[in-house]
Amino acid sequence: MFANDIFWAAFWAWLCAQVLKLFWDLAVHRRLDFARLIGAGGMPSSHAALVSGLSAAVITRYGWDNPLAAICLVFSLIVMYDAAGVRRAVGKQARILNQLLASIQHGGPKGQEKKQLKELLGHTPVEVLAGAVLGATIAWWLVR
């Protein structure tokens, strides 16, 4: 595995996206949140970077007409659709549920633990596109 440059292209694409999330969050929210290094959601999509890095590396190495290219491309499209569609919708629902819980628990007993659902789960289409471009660029650079 250590000599597999296709694996490493995908890995480095993912890692770069995760690190960029930290700096993006710092630029936008003016706070350094190290949880961004492992968290889901945000700019750019590390899921998109990982799968597009994998696809781009396979396509660069073996060409578009290879069956592996088709498998990776379909896999990538499913993951990116899920990140921008299903997981984003779940995040929006979590935000609404958190607001409902806050209004219900507002009059509850003091000191009662109020757990919140994670809201930052999915991505906007721009975040997915940015991750995909990042992943493909890194893969092309490493595997060419």
CA distances from 57 to 23, 91, 99 (A): 26, 31, 43
Q: pLDDT for 57-72, tens place per residue?
A: 999 999 999 999 999 9
pTM for the structure as a whole: 0.75
Domain spans of the chain, in order of start: 5-104+115-143
pLDDT per residue as tens digits for the range 2-60: 889 999 999 999 999 999 988 888 888 788 877 776 777 778 999 999 999 999 999 99
For helices 46-62 and 5-29, angle between their N-to-C axes, nearest 10 degrees: 150
Indicate the SS3 state at residue 66.
coil
pLDDT band at residue 107 under the 50/70/90 scheme? low
